[in-house]
Amino acid sequence: MLDSIIPLLLNIDQNLPGIVNEYGIWTYIILFVIIFLETGLVVTPFLPGDSLLFVGGAAAASGILDVRLLMVAIIAGAILGDTLNYWIGNRIGLHMFLERFPNLVKKEYIDRTYGFYEKYGGATIFVARFVPMVRTFAPFLAGIGSMHYGRFLFYNVLGAVGWTLAIVLGGYYLGTFSVVKENMSLLMIGVVVLMAGTIIFIIASVISACLKKPVEDKEQDE
């Protein structure tokens, strides 16, 4: 059973038309589950994400899938997946670190992490949606950092909708062109590089701000 399910999950973006023909309406459930797992569990970041959305959009343009149902399935999977990941980090992750590394994880570190996600976590959650691997770990870390759930949920939904619209509609309008089909891997690499550059810029800005703050506090104390 697993011998057939695992290859299906890993290569669904390459075999989507055949899967639609075999499973029909259940394809939307399969897509939902894959996105839910890719974003909801820190152990499954290897599942297809961006490529699956893009190919799904192209399939919808060809009439194989309904673009509205496709986007509903993906948005729902992305939101619920990040929500699960957040609560795993919030309920399990922190306690695990406190139990296993009581001297390493001090209250001071927890407070700093909490402060970071309260101040910069929204941008991190949103931008992370567009970066493979990073989007799987960002909600987990937000949960560990005890980012306020209402704030997290807002950026979770915003990121899920933005990610889905950008990649699915990109596939819908561009994926049917032969030049795009022949160079899809290069296109996806370009998207990943662009988004990775964006999040690196944000992280660098955050680190810079954090380094300046102690200096400013010291000057004020003097």
Q: In the predicted model, what is the mean pLDDT of residues 173-190?
A: 60
What's the number of CA atoms in the CB half-sphere (13 Å) around residue 131? Answer: 20
Question: In sequence order, what DSSP letters do the residues of 102-171 get, joined into one string?
Answer: TTTS-HHHHHHHHHHHHHHHHHHHHHHTTSTTHHHHHHHHHHHTT--HHHHHHHHHHHHHHHHHHHHHHH
pLDDT of residue 1: 43
Residues 6+ apart with CB under 8 A from 212: none
Q: Residue written as tokens 């957040």?
A: 86
Q: Which two tokens stand for residue 71?
A: 């986007």
pLDDT of residue 60: 87
Instruction: Specify whether the CB–CB gap between 2 and 20 falls below 8 A.
Output: no
Share of residues in the chain with pLDDT > 90 (%): 21
**Residues across the chain:** 222
Does 196 or 131 have the greater pLDDT score?
131
Task: Give 99-157 pLDDT, tens digit per residue.
Answer: 665 665 555 655 665 666 766 678 888 888 887 777 888 888 888 877 889 989 999 99
pLDDT value at 215 more than 50: no
**What CA–CA distance (Å, rounded) separates 28 from 157?**
19
